[in-house]
Amino acid sequence: MKALCFELFGDAEVLLYKELPDPVIGEREILVRMKAIGLNFADIYRRRGNYHLKGNPPYILGYEGAGTVEQVGKSVTAFQIGDRVAFADVPHANAELVAVPEDHAVPIPGDISFETAASLLLQGWTAHYLTQDSYKVIEGTQVLIHAAAGGVGQLLSQICKLRGAYVVGLTSTPAKREVALKAGADKVLLYAEHWVEKADLLTREQKGFDVVYDSVGSTLEESFLATKIGGTVVFYGMSGGDPQSIDPRMLMDGSKTLTGGDLWNYLTSHMERVTRANELFEWLRTKQLRLAAPTLYKLSEGAEAHRYMESRHSTGKILLIP
């Protein structure tokens, strides 16, 4: 099979598109021929050497994608050859063939494309648990969302609106502001325009937001300035760098809460994966949720795709197509 891999940590130039042995599946795994593969910042971090990688090079990046079942292990009961499936937490996905544990695969409905499934699951599951488990967004919740034009940010805005919230987004450029507004945010501010003070003025009948979703990291201190007394900051990413240390006395003085968010603490069973995925698919089907068209690259163009993601010019999902 062909795969996108690397043998040394570094810039996008270290990526290689080469022939590697086909994976050998276990008795409870399925072999998936990939049709669309999601690119995420975690792939960038791993390529740079910021994330630990097990085993020895060549390392195959990727954790998310969609395709068809080509082979099933002898103990697999949920899937058959030819089934359409997607996943978001299986390593070595940047390849034509991927060995997928049976309980990590989600059936794709017939009216959902491979590209849509590969664009939706990781970001959609993330937005789903952030609004349901990390902080329960309900009618009237006032929400501030960092990186509101990004893949998670756009879905987070839409799900918050679906739940009846008032949403203010943050973006880095006027073009991204338009993307965030189109995705459903009520108001959008730019990071460069003294956003903490302006955001405070946008809250309704209270000083500060009920919840701030921070995926940037380096903005954590400002996120707390934007929360109300008794408010919550949900920290779930570091796309802008490491967060500052938080003084617990500040939390005490403002009765504020800091909570971390990690998807894999919630997707603990096959049923959780399927149930949450089906809700996302239904929201798409009923047009309560919209996905921006993804940016497509051939898997062989992986280095170019990585550079595009690192440029911060992307506003939606980037997919690699084998």
pLDDT at 112: 96
- DSSP bridge partners of 71: 31
- How confident is the model over 202-252, as pLDDT tens digits? 887 788 999 999 999 899 999 999 999 999 999 998 877 788 888 999 999
pLDDT at 56: 85
pLDDT-based confidence at residue 76 (cuts at 50, 70, 90): very high
- pTM equals 0.90
pLDDT at 262: 87
pLDDT at 55: 80
pLDDT-based confidence at residue 310 (cuts at 50, 70, 90): confident
Domain boundaries of the chain, sorted by first residue = 2-120+267-321, 139-260
The pLDDT > 70 percentage for the chain reads 100
Q: Cβ distance 128 to 275 under 8 Å?
A: no
pLDDT at 39: 95
pLDDT-based confidence at residue 45 (cuts at 50, 70, 90): confident
In CATH, what number does 139-260 get? 3.40.50.720
Q: Cβ distance 247 to 270 under 8 Å?
A: no
- The stretch 78-90 carries a mean pLDDT of 96
**Alpha carbon distance 65, 36 (integer Å):** 6
pLDDT at 201: 82
Chain centroid to CA 252: how far? 31
Q: Could you tell me which CATH class the domain 2-120+267-321 is placed in?
A: alpha beta
- The stretch 83-103 carries a mean pLDDT of 97
**Side-chain half-sphere CA neighbours of 312 within 13 A:** 10
Q: Output the 3-class SS for the chain.
A: CEEEEECCCCCHHHEEEEECCCCCCCCCEEEEEEEEEEECHHHHHHHHCCCCCCCCCCEECCCCEEEEEEEECCCCCCCCCCCEEEECCCCCCCECEEEEEHHHCEECCCCCCHHHHHHHHHHHHHHHHHHHHHCCCCCCCEEEECCCCCHHHHHHHHHHHHCCCEEEEEECCHHHHHHHHHHCCCEEEECCCCHHHHHHHHCCCCCCEEEEEECCCCCHHHHHHCEEEEEEEEECCCCCCCCCCCCHHHHHHHCCEEEECCHHHCCCCHHHHHHHHHHHHHHHHCCCCCCCCCEEEEHHHHHHHHHHHHCCCCCCCEEEEC
**Alpha carbon distance 205, 201 (integer Å):** 10
